[in-house]
Amino acid sequence: LLPQVLMEEDDCPELIPIEEKISLPSAQIPVTIITGYLVQRFIKQNIHI
């Protein structure tokens, strides 16, 4: 069973990194801002007082 599983994994295509089309620093939103927004939204939806 184990060799068959390994063979199935070998059929996966190689992952090729996608180059960013936008290279301007001003066009990129910091991850911390996005994370903070999502956490705040999650907390508001799940806490009913």
| 40 lies in some domain | yes
| 31 lies in some domain | yes
| pLDDT, position 38 | 87
Q: Are 29 and 22 in contact (CB under 8 A)?
A: no
> What whole-number distance in Å separates Cα of residue 1 and Cα of residue 34?
43
Q: Are 28 and 22 in contact (CB under 8 A)?
A: yes
| 41 lies in some domain | yes
pLDDT top residue among 1 and 29: 29
At residue 9 the predicted structure's pLDDT band, cuts being 50, 70 and 90, is low
Residue 7 has pLDDT above 60, yes or no: no
At residue 15 the predicted structure's pLDDT band, cuts being 50, 70 and 90, is confident
> Which residues constitute the domain of residue 36?
24-49
Q: What is the domain count for the chain?
A: 1
| 18 lies in some domain | no
| 8 lies in some domain | no
| 5 lies in some domain | no
| 37 lies in some domain | yes
